[in-house]
């Protein structure tokens, strides 16, 4: 009887894929900007054409979110991202500073390992393929096992379109047997130049620990602060629109609402009016048992699920028109599930005496989880908005916009991206919304503008201008005498 070990099969498959990707990348790095742009456009067009089909595949396979919203995410990943990157210079000389005589030359990093999450599987695959190829790299996908089929199908669409447009075979690769061992092999492979990791905290940490350069993004836990000058009905609408988009699986979506005491009742009334259900203390306790697993990580059973399914699971009796479940909270800790990331239509609600206390609460929530990621503020007071921007340990401060679509650059003018860096404070190599420019190295050619004699003369001139301490003291004493 033949015995096939999936882990060994996965490792061998990765080795073969990376070898092909390396050979393909050697050919692509000699292509012109026009040739690469042709491939990228073909991939974007094909992704847009198959966007609805891929969205439905993702929804059926994972059970997360809403397929209608996944169509919008696929459109964003293909159309919005493409429009942003299509005219970027990513090949050869990309900038010339004639005054300072410095020339910037773009060089691709090589083979990129792209780890794809189950929460946004098809859109993230499209996005990472476009930005990787635009930068002249090859890309190898490691699918999340729970979204394997839809990720592979998306990759096949991209491979076919790229091939027709002139891409060499192997430029886009994907594992058909994803295992933990296979992913480790990919991350540690000597021919992989960079890891682009999107997913859970443990996976991102593994990417950074692999020994291969990595761009990883951690969890979000973005608080939304409503300041008393805000347009409350519009602020509530934006928060609920964001938290219900794809049932809350985008990591930039709001996780808590923080309000000033003077507007607490007005905000609660507006939330209820727009479909929020405030849980009683007993209901909050019951639901809390389903938010986290015993090991302290988010329970996948609630991720991307509808309010009705979550209520049924927790045996909650809620109105039929409920959009979001809200629990008023007074503490922040790793053991309080409401103060953690919840990729579902569930929000915590905090009330503070004033905006300064609200600022402190937001920082506390971020330090609990999601530091470096995203914060949302609703306000018309520019001074307070600037205070938040100066003090919050995040990479994105979103002002008067829904968190989910604002963070990725759909409702803001941030770089359109589905990989949101958290900066050094959040354990990430970048604070950017990742794009093609994060996936190239820049070779700088610098012409000489000074000779060694010039440097020596400058040093001599500086010494001539130095005033001895004794003389300086005498000058100061003379000035003091005149002032008297």
Catalytic residue among 150, 251, 359, 422: 251
Contacts of 179 (CB under 8 A, 6+ apart): 6, 7, 10, 145
- Which residues, in sequence order, are bridge partners of residue 104? 95, 444
Q: Is 251 a catalytic residue?
A: yes
Phi, psi of 325 (to 5 degrees): -100, 130
Contacts of 386 (CB under 8 A, 6+ apart): none
Given a contact cutoff of 8 angstroms between Cβ atoms, the answer to whether 362 and 269 are in contact is no
Given a contact cutoff of 8 angstroms between Cβ atoms, the answer to whether 331 and 203 are in contact is no
Helical H segments across 369-446, by residue range: 382-391, 403-407
Mean pLDDT, to the nearest integer, of 149-162?
98
Mean pLDDT, to the nearest integer, of 375-382?
97
Helical H segments across 215-332, by residue range: 232-244, 264-273, 281-291, 307-313
The two beta strands, 194-198 and 214-217, are parallel
Residue 260 to residues 167, 274, 384, Cα–Cα distance (Å): 56, 20, 13
pLDDT digits (tens, 9 = 90+) for 130-140: 999 999 999 99
Least confident of 88-102, 179-193, 206-220, 437-451: 206-220
The whole-number pLDDT of residue 219 equals 86
The whole-number pLDDT of residue 360 equals 95
pLDDT digits (tens, 9 = 90+) for 318-360: 999 999 999 999 999 999 999 999 999 999 999 999 999 999 9
Given a contact cutoff of 8 angstroms between Cβ atoms, the answer to whether 74 and 193 are in contact is no
Least confident of 56-60, 311-315, 462-466: 462-466
Mean pLDDT, to the nearest integer, of 154-176?
98
The whole-number pLDDT of residue 459 equals 63
Contacts of 154 (CB under 8 A, 6+ apart): 47, 50, 54, 121, 122, 125, 126
Given a contact cutoff of 8 angstroms between Cβ atoms, the answer to whether 257 and 80 are in contact is no
pLDDT digits (tens, 9 = 90+) for 217-228: 878 999 999 999
The whole-number pLDDT of residue 111 equals 98
SS3 state of residue 113:
strand
Phi-psi region of 231 (alpha: psi -120 to 50; beta: other; left: phi over 0): beta
Is pLDDT of 1 > 50?
Answer: no
Mean pLDDT, to the nearest integer, of 150-176?
98
Q: How many CB atoms lie within 10 A of CB 449?
A: 10
pLDDT digits (tens, 9 = 90+) for 204-221: 888 888 999 999 887 899
pTM for the model stands at 0.90
Residue 371 pLDDT class (50, 70, 90 cuts): very high
Phi, psi of 393 (to 5 degrees): -80, 65
Residues 37/40/45/49 CA torsion (nearest 10 deg): 170
Hey, what are 116's tokens? 């794809």
The whole-number pLDDT of residue 257 equals 98
**DSSP symbol at 292:** B
pLDDT digits (tens, 9 = 90+) for 257-308: 999 999 999 999 999 999 999 999 999 999 999 999 888 888 889 999 999 9
Between these two residues, 195 and 471, which has the higher pLDDT value?
195
The whole-number pLDDT of residue 453 equals 87
What is the rounded average pLDDT for all residues in the chain? 93
Given a contact cutoff of 8 angstroms between Cβ atoms, the answer to whether 280 and 97 are in contact is no
CA distance 243 to 245: 6
């Amino acid at each position: 009887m033949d015995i096939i070990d999936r882990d060994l099969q996965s490792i061998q498959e990765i080795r073969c894929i990376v070898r092909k990707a390396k050979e393909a990348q050697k050919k692509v790095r000699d292509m012109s900007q026009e040739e690469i742009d042709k491939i990228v456009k073909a991939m974007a067009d094909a992704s847009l054409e198959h966007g609805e089909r891929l969205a439905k595949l993702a929804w059926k396979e994972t059970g997360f979110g809403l397929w209608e919203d996944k169509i919008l995410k696929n459109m964003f990943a293909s159309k919005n991202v493409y429009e942003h990157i299509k005219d970027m210079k990513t090949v050869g000389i990309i900038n010339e500073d004639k005054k300072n005589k410095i020339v910037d030359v773009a060089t691709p990093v090589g083979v990129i390992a792209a780890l794809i999450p189950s929460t946004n599987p098809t859109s993230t695959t499209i996005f990472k393929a476009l930005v990787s190829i635009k930068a002249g790299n090859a890309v190898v996908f490691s699918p999340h096992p729970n979204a394997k089929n839809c990720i592979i199908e998306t990759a096949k669409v991209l491979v076919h379109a790229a091939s027709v447009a002139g891409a060499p075979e192997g430029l886009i690769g994907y594992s058909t047997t994803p295992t933990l061992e296979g992913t480790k092999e990919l991350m540690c492979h000597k021919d992989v130049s960079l890891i682009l990791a999107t997913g859970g905290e443990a996976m991102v940490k593994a990417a950074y620990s692999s020994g291969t350069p990595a761009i990883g993004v951690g969890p979000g836990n973005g608080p939304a602060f409503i300041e008393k000058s805000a347009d409350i009905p519009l602020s509530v609408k934006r928060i609920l629109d964001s938290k219900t988009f794809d049932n809350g699986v985008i990591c930039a979506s709001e996780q808590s609402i923080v309000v000033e005491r003077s507007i607490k009742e007005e905000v609660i009334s507006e939330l209820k009016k727009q479909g929020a259900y405030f849980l009683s203390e007993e209901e909050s306790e019951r639901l809390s048992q389903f938010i986290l697993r015993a090991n302290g990580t988010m329970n996948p059973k609630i991720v991307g699920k509808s309010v009705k399914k979550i209520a049924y699971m927790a045996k909650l009796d809620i109105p039929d028109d409920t959009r979001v479940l809200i629990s008023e909270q007074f503490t922040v800790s790793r053991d309080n599930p409401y103060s953690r990331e919840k990729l579902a239509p569930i929000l915590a609600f905090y009330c503070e005496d004033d905006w300064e206390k609200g600022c402190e609460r937001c920082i506390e929530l971020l330090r609990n989880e999601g530091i470096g990621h995203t914060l949302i503020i609703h306000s018309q007071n520019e001074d307070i908005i600037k205070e938040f921007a100066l003090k919050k340990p995040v990479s994105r401060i979103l002002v008067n916009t829904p968190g989910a679509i604002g963070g990725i650059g759909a409702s803001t003018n941030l770089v359109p991206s589905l990989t949101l860096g958290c900066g050094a404070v959040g354990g990430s190599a970048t604070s950017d919304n990742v794009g093609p420019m994060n996936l190239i190295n820049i070779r700088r050619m610098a012409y000489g503008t000074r000779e060694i004699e010039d440097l020596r003369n400058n040093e001599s001139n500086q010494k001539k201008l130095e005033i001895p301490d004794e003389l300086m003291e005498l000058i100061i004493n003379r000035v003091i005498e005149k002032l008297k």
